[in-house]
Structure 1
């Protein structure tokens, strides 16, 4: 029994060493995994923009109160990425540094929280925006 365990450990160690050295990367499993690019988890046009238009654009579009006060237009990718007259709102790849998430998560004073005078966006809605930012805030 000890011999079988010792042989199994030796084989596992040899296989691990091959993969670490890069020699095992020609296995069908590795090739299949390498051939599949990671798809974005969230699409701006299909997930984020409809949310922003439904929940935010009544104020944050040309002529809206939020637009007049801040210059923030949430009706297009270009508008979101332009930010406000006070600066950018999205830091691609870093939702925690993005002012948009600070406003939506209510990590700011009450008078700045978004949406003004309304119920906070759901965790699901906020996580959609957060994931999009984390994934690079792409125009996809």
Structure 2
């Protein structure tokens, strides 16, 4: 019994909840590859970024957001425009990535998987760090 209590105290002391342990999400290893595969055709520096108004090719440019303001609120995916548009919690006209049949044939424009959406959500909720 004492050993179980010590283990519980150690888990709680590290900030991990026993019933819902979550992994630390890395921008470089987890988030950036998702963005590269699904977003870079429109959201990198150059002509695409001028049309889209958001550059996602670096952490700093992503955190800068658009002319209208930030698209990420560190610590709150529910308040982050980026999360809302990829999770389809907005008008279908502005969901990302856009569903273009010509781009889908090239492997672009496909909706993100639930796992990819959850990864970005968790990263934002963890503070959207450049890690």
TM norm structure 2:
0.74
Choose 1 or 2 for highest CA Rg: 1
Q: Distance in 1 between matches of 2:90 and 2:23?
A: 29
1:106 Cα deviation after fit = 1.4
Q: Is the 8 A contact 2:38 2:110 kept in 1?
A: no
* Aligned residue number for residue 73 of structure 1: 55
1:69–1:50: structure 2 CA closer, same or farther, 3 Å change rule?
same
- Post-superposition, which runs of at least 4 consecutive aligned residues in structure 1 deviate over 4 A? 27-40
Structure 1: any 5+ residue segments left out of the alignment? 1-11, 16-26
Structure 2: any 5+ residue segments left out of the alignment? 17-21, 100-108
1:47–1:110: structure 2 CA closer, same or farther, 3 Å change rule?
same
**Number of positions where the alignment pairs a residue of Structure 1 with one of Structure 2:** 115
1:71 Cα deviation after fit = 2.3
Q: Which has the higher contact order (CA 8 A, sep 6+)?
A: 2
Q: Distance in 2 between matches of 1:106 and 1:75?
A: 22
TM norm structure 1:
0.70
